[in-house]
């Protein structure tokens, strides 16, 4: 008599917040698949739903609470994890029916909660079959992957509660990071996005210990990691793009710029400057070294003229005067950053900035936000206009369907564009053989404030 193997229990996932949280979601789902679970693309088919929350800002918390409410309404069996998990009492007060609440990076606790809510159903005979745990679940397209190199942060910025959510800096072993990167590239990743809370501080907590990799010793250090990642190759012998995010401008950052000039790294730096006014930076408890930063930016561009620098800034921080804000605008005019994001200051429960005097009125925040966006949009438009007529490498994210004339368009990105953060390169009349992940040369024909337009050249 044949044994009927029961269907695997199914898990749904809602992942909110930053790329670091997305990596956490991928790790959780990979663990669960190794335990015999399958993934559900919708609420209806899930035995339990995981909601990976964001708790960085009050607006993000409200978004997380809304997602929890939707999951409960649509499914009813919900486990909450992520950065907002440290506010379990708030979550349970709003949604007493949640099955479990765990914090950020608590992978074991999440998996245990899933086991309790929806025990694996396939039994001991199926459990003897090795599960494909060496093939990780990805929540990004096949051709790009986030590579998280550390957890936590040692900074004490007045507006931030990340250390209380994710703890102090904890660097991953460099051989483990390189092994993961090598596996991702072998599986089809054409672009590695290096992420952490502070990429420049990688290895500080372990005193930059050395590990053996490919028969040689490598330090747990950003520059060594960057150099090794730059040496990876796809099965076809091509170099993947390697993009650095969350890079604080420590002195050793200067050492990675030549690697960009040599083509080992994507010429792109994501640096969270946050402001330029010395008085605001001091209140934020960040280094007030904006003059030196301008000099270094000029030196980086001299070494690697194609480098793209992106950053984010907070407007309306407590005590920010009109003079401080104008200083920031003038600084941006000198720095000529390629990509800029701006945020209105929001008080966050537990942040030291909440106790600072002279809060900026909401209407003033809005006015300053509009001015900084206008300023940076003009800078971006001028920089992109300067690329018209150039031939640039682009990576394809999506290929469209033929229009009424049979032409096919595609959405791609240049080396100056990180996915879901920066702009796009829109290609016209692409060949039918083009596929996501292809890296091609594009002749840039036009530009606007944020995007480029062209044709494969």
Question: Domain coordinates of the chain in residue numbers?
Answer: 10-127, 144-385, 391-456
Residue 304 annotated as binding site: no
Over residues 403-433, the pLDDT tens digits come to 888 899 999 999 999 999 999 999 999 999 9
Over residues 364-398, the pLDDT tens digits come to 999 999 999 999 999 999 999 999 999 999 999 99
Give the whole-angstrom CA distance, residue 158 versus residue 194. 25
pLDDT of residue 156: 79
* Alpha-carbon separation of residue 82 from 20, 55, 71, 155, 333 (angstroms): 10, 8, 15, 20, 38
Give the whole-angstrom CA distance, residue 319 versus residue 324. 9
CATH topology of domain 144-385: pyruvate-formate lyase- activating enzyme (3.80.30)
Domain 391-456 sits in CATH at: 2.40.50.140
Residue 160 annotated as binding site: yes
Give the pLDDT band (50/70/90) at residue 310: very high
User: Pairing mode, if any, of strands 410-414 and 425-427?
Assistant: antiparallel
pLDDT of residue 288: 52
Count of alpha carbons within 13 Å of 365, Cβ hemisphere only?
18
Mean pLDDT for all residues in the chain: 91
Which residue, 378, 269, 272, is CA-closest to 329? Answer: 378
Phi, psi of 243 (to 5 degrees): -115, 130
Burial of 173 (0-12, 13-18, 19+ CB in 10 A): middle
Give the whole-angstrom CA distance, residue 447 versus residue 381. 7
Give the whole-angstrom CA distance, residue 356 versus residue 105. 31
For domain 10-127, which CATH number applies: 3.30.1490.70, 3.30.379.10, 3.40.50.12160, 3.40.50.300? Answer: 3.40.50.12160
Give the whole-angstrom CA distance, residue 273 versus residue 131. 44
Percent of all residues in the chain with a pLDDT value above 90, rounded to a whole number: 74
Angle of the 222-229 helix axis to the 174-186 helix axis, nearest 10: 20
Give the SS3 label for residue 384: helix
Residue 153 annotated as binding site: yes
- Among the ranges given (166-170, 204-208, 303-307, 447-451), the one the predictor scored with the smallest mean pLDDT: 166-170
Give the pLDDT band (50/70/90) at residue 139: confident
Give the whole-angstrom CA distance, residue 420 versus residue 191. 14
Beta bridge partners of 78: 49
**The domains spanning 10-127 and 144-385 adopt the same CATH topology:** no
* Alpha-carbon separation of residue 31 from 37, 111, 133 (angstroms): 9, 7, 7
pLDDT of residue 289: 58
Two tokens at 85? 């998990």
Give the SS3 label for residue 49: strand
Give the whole-angstrom CA distance, residue 240 versus residue 264. 9
Q: DSSP secondary structure string, 157-192?
A: -TT--HHHHH-S-EEPPHHHHHHHHHHHHHTT--EE
User: Pairing mode, if any, of strands 150-151 and 170-171?
Assistant: antiparallel
| Mean of pLDDT values over 16-33 | 88
Residue pair 267/308 in contact by the 8 Å Cβ criterion: yes
């Amino acid at each position: 008599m044949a044994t009927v193997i029961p269907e695997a229990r199914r898990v749904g996932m809602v992942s909110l917040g930053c790329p670091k949280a997305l990596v956490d979601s991928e790790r959780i789902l990979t663990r669960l698949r190794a335990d015999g679970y399958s993934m559900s693309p919708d609420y209806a088919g899930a035995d339990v739903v995981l909601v990976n929350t964001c708790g960085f800002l009050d607006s993000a918390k409200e978004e997380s609470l809304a997602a929890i409410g939707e999951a409960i309404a649509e499914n009813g069996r919900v486990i909450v994890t992520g950065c907002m998990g440290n506010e379990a009492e708030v979550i349970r007060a709003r949604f007493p029916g949640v099955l479990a609440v765990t914090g950020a990076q608590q992978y074991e606790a999440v998996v245990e909660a899933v086991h309790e809510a929806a025990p694996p159903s396939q039994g001991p005979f199926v459990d003897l079959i090795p599960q494909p745990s060496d093939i990780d679940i990805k929540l990004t397209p096949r051709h790009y992957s986030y590579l998280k190199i550390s957890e936590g942060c040692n900074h004490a910025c007045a507006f931030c509660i990340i250390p209380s959510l994710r703890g102090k800096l904890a660097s991953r072993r460099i051989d483990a990071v390189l092994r993961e990167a090598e596996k991702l590239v072998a599986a089809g990743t054409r672009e590695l996005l290096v992420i952490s809370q502070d990429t420049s501080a990688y290895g500080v907590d372990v005193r930059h210990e050395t590990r053996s990799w490919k028969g040689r010793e490598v330090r747990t250090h950003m520059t060594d990691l960057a150099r090794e990642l730059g040496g990876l190759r796809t099965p076809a012998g091509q170099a993947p793009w390697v993009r650095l995010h969350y890079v604080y401008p420590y002195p050793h950052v200067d050492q990675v710029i030549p690697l960009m000039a040599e083509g080992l790294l994507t010429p792109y730096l994501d640096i969270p400057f946050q402001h330029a006014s010395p008085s605001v930076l001091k209140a934020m408890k960040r280094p007030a070294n904006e003059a030196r930063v301008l000099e270094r930016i000029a030196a980086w561009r001299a070494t690697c003229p194609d480098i793209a620098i992106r950053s984010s800034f907070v407007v309306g921080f407590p005590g920010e005067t009109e003079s401080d804000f104008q200083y920031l605008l003038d600084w941006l005019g000198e720095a000529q950053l390629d990509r800029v994001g701006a945020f209105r200051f929001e008080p966050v429960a537990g942040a030291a900035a909440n106790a600072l005097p002279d809060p900026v009125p909401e209407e003033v925040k809005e006015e300053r936000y509009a001015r900084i966006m206008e300023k940076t949009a003009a800078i971006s438009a001028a920089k992109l206009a300067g690329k018209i007529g150039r031939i640039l490498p682009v990576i394809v994210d999506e290929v469209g369907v033929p229009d009424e004339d049979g032409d096919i368009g595609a959405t791609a990105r240049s080396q100056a564009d990180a996915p879901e953060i920066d702009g796009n390169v829109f290609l016209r009349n692409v060949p039918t053989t083009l596929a996501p992940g292809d890296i091609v040369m594009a002749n840039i024909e036009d530009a606007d404030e944020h995007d480029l337009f062209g044709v494969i050249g």
